[in-house]
Amino acid sequence: MIFSELAENLGGSKNPLYLLHDRLKSEGAKIVDLVRGNVNEHGIVYPPDALDHILKDAAAQTRIYRPDSLGQRPAREAIAQYYKPLNIPADQILITPGTSVSYWYCFKLLAEPGDEILCPQPSYPLFDYIARLCGVQMRHYRLAEARNWAIDLEHLEQQISKRTRAIILISPHNPTGMVADEQQLNELAEIASHHALPIISDEVFNEFLFGVSAFPRVAATEAPLVFTLNGFSKMFALPGIKIGWMVVSGNGPLVRKALSALELISDTFLPVNEIAQFAAPEIFRRGQDFLKHYVQWVGLCWSTITFSCIPAISTISHQTTW
């Protein structure tokens, strides 16, 4: 029996952090597990009573299945409202079952096997797996540690080749917490314009801003095509609800072309749970107080981590690919 190359080449070496974690655990060491990022396991949960009511009401709206390949309109309108200053119409928003799947959609939309996508280093390991599934190559650009992990734009531009198909921006960045400022974003947008490249902007941590007063978005620059990715997984500590989205913005014809292809990809699977989609507007509305407390809690952890863990992140980022 013949399996795909992917199936034949599973496995590979484990991240050194996990290896260290597993060894310490097997030795019975008392560890605070910051490696696994499931906030629910750390005691952060969306208010359960509110969620029960929201889901019950949403279920009542889904008795007759009437899917929408972009995602149910009330959900898309609630998301458009979230981005109000950008003035993005609901028709430029696609609902997905989470940001990881949004990445997969973007890679399928933009690249052929063997093409390259630029992503920051250090980073978290998800891209490598998604890229493997899509047959595309990840190429890394540096974040400059000495400048608070700002994007090394010169290095980024040097990494662009004939096969580059997109630039991934993660701001706020995981794991450094770097937030790209307006000047960096404008310069990034210029590079993207010059090389005719889309920017995939991962903003899943955009509610968690510490030490910065405003959050600049690359969607507000002159970049020719931007996919802004976000979802409820981090924002409302609801990874299991599986609601993510992509906001497509930029140059009109490019946006329209991207959206028609994305709609087709989404329509092929219609993968987003209808109850979760109908629940989305109320999750936003009733989640605001919870979000305030959650952000405060993360802020407290952040100040502790900044002093104790960032030096470790720095050391490890020089030693390994995350």
Torsion of CA 48, 52, 58, 60, to 10 degrees: 180
Beta carbon of residue 131, minimum distance to ligand PLP (angstroms, whole number): 14
Beta carbon of residue 98, minimum distance to ligand PLP (angstroms, whole number): 3
Q: Please, what's the b/e burial string for 132-157 (b: 16 or more CB within 10 A of its CB; e: otherwise)?
A: bebebbbbbbbbebeeebbbbbeebb
Task: Decide: 290 and 46 in contact? Cβ < 8 Å.
Answer: yes
Beta carbon of residue 97, minimum distance to ligand PLP (angstroms, whole number): 8
Q: Residue 67 or residue 239: which is nearer to ligand PLP going by CB?
A: 239
Beta carbon of residue 252, minimum distance to ligand PLP (angstroms, whole number): 28
Q: Which amino acid is at 201?
A: S
Q: Residue 176 or residue 221: which is nearer to ligand PLP going by CB?
A: 176
Residue 272, CA atoms < 13 Å, CB-side half-sphere: 33
Q: Residue 100 or residue 273: which is nearer to ligand PLP going by CB?
A: 100
Nearest to 246 by CA among 266, 224, 275: 266
Q: Residue 89 or residue 299: which is nearer to ligand PLP going by CB?
A: 299
Residue that is written with structure tokens 């993360």 in the block: 298
Beta carbon of residue 159, minimum distance to ligand PLP (angstroms, whole number): 20
Q: Residue 174 or residue 184: which is nearer to ligand PLP going by CB?
A: 174
Beta carbon of residue 172, minimum distance to ligand PLP (angstroms, whole number): 8
Task: Decide: 249 and 282 in contact? Cβ < 8 Å.
Answer: no
Q: Residue 72 or residue 174: which is nearer to ligand PLP going by CB?
A: 174
Read off φ and ψ for residue 219, nearest 5 degrees.
-65, -20
Beta carbon of residue 174, minimum distance to ligand PLP (angstroms, whole number): 4
Q: Residue 158 or residue 320: which is nearer to ligand PLP going by CB?
A: 320
Instruction: For residue 146, give every residue at least 6 positions away whose Cβ sits within 8 Å of its Cβ, in sequence order, or none.
Output: none
Q: Residue 72 or residue 171: which is nearer to ligand PLP going by CB?
A: 171
Beta carbon of residue 276, minimum distance to ligand PLP (angstroms, whole number): 12
| Helix segments in the chain, DSSP class H | 5-8, 16-26, 48-60, 73-82, 99-110, 126-134, 153-158, 182-194, 232-235, 252-269, 274-286, 288-308, 310-319
Q: Which residues bind ligand PLP (CB under 6 A)?
A: 37, 98-100, 124, 170, 174, 202, 204, 231, 233, 239, 244
Sheet holding 93-96, edge to edge: 93-96, 244-250, 225-231, 199-202, 164-170, 116-121, 137-144, 150-151
